[in-house]
Chain A
Amino acid sequence: MITVGQLVDFQWKLAMAISSDTCRSLNYPYISMTLKVANSSGQITSKSFEMTIPQFQVSVVVWCGLLPRTCLQSLHV
């Protein structure tokens, strides 16, 4: 049986990448997220990742389609 972890924490950030070692003037917005997932034995692993705005918009559409209405209400979507 495949066990799926439980999402225990979810943090997000909307930010602007200003400048980098390869590009002086980036000026590109992105969303970064940190998910904390607990496995069946209670161990928590943390995963952080970034998305461009279009990627985020696609993922929100997919996500909202999968969530029951009660969750969406609590997220104020």
Chain B
Amino acid sequence: MSSAGKAAASAAGQPSDRTGFLGARIPSEVEVMTKHLKDLDKEMFRKILKAVVSALEGKDCRESMTAIAEHGNLSEEQLSYIIAGMYTLLKEALRLPASSLKQEVFKEDLRDIRIAEEFIADFASVIFGSRRAVLESAAAQQGTRRAGIADFRWRVDVAISTSSLARALQPSILMQMKLTDGNAHRFEFPSSKSFAITLP
């Protein structure tokens, strides 16, 4: 579909060698969604979009989804195609920082895949509107992360004498870390490894 869009653009005399924000190959769920959007009235579209945005923010939207499924005149299959397509479209747009994906380019990419202009405006208001910050922070929280350091304590020691060395005078660092996942680690850095811990 994107190649058809590019062909149309170049036929109109505009260079279009840019890959859209959806990638070189449009995700299949987005392609299927565009077919089903044609049968959708604006009110229903906005209801579904609102529920999908709630889901992206991490909220539980089962109730609103059930209500849409029951009161709408869409089959469950159609509804699932539309929801999947909207979700993927918005997720892909949110992956890119606002500085690299501009609103006009976003809209142009959606025109390339034959989405109606009024729906494009609604999609754009989600990505470039006031809810953007909330969506970005929700996405950051849902990503995979390592544990962070909750507490870090250290002590520098000098060994005077040990069971293996009579006159040691070796410095070492004792460290104790508590991580955000609840694990605690206590360990000693011997002086031979001191080169490994030059801090910026």
B-binding residues in A (CB < 8 A): 10-22, 26, 29
Q: How many residues of B sit at the interface, in one of the four size bands? A: 10 to 19
Residue among B153, B157, B161 making CB contact with A18, cutoff 8 Å: B157
Contact partners of A20 in chain B: CB under 8 A: 153-156
| B151 to A: closest C-beta gap in Å | 10
| A14 to B: closest C-beta gap in Å | 5
A-binding residues in B (CB < 8 A): 152-164, 168, 171-172
In the bound assembly, the distance between CA atoms of A47 and B156 in angstroms comes to 21
Summarize B's interface: helix, strand, loop or mixed: strand
Interface contact B161-A13, CB-CB below 8 Å:
yes
Ordered by A's residue number, 15 sampled pairs between the chains whose C-beta atoms are within 8 Å are A10-B163, A12-B162, A14-B160, A15-B158, A15-B160, A16-B158, A17-B155, A17-B156, A18-B157, A18-B158, A18-B171, A20-B153, A20-B154, A21-B152, A29-B160
Interface contact B164-A11, CB-CB below 8 Å:
yes
Report the nearest B residue to A16, measured CB to CB. Answer: B158
Residue among A10, A14, A21, A26 making CB contact with B159, cutoff 8 Å: A14
Interface contact A17-B157, CB-CB below 8 Å:
yes
In the bound assembly, the distance between CA atoms of A2 and B164 in angstroms comes to 33
Known: A17-B156, A20-B154. 17 other contacts (CB 8 A): A12-B162, A13-B159, A13-B162, A14-B160, A15-B157, A15-B159, A15-B172, A16-B157, A16-B160, A18-B155, A18-B156, A18-B157, A19-B155, A19-B156, A20-B155, A22-B153, A26-B155
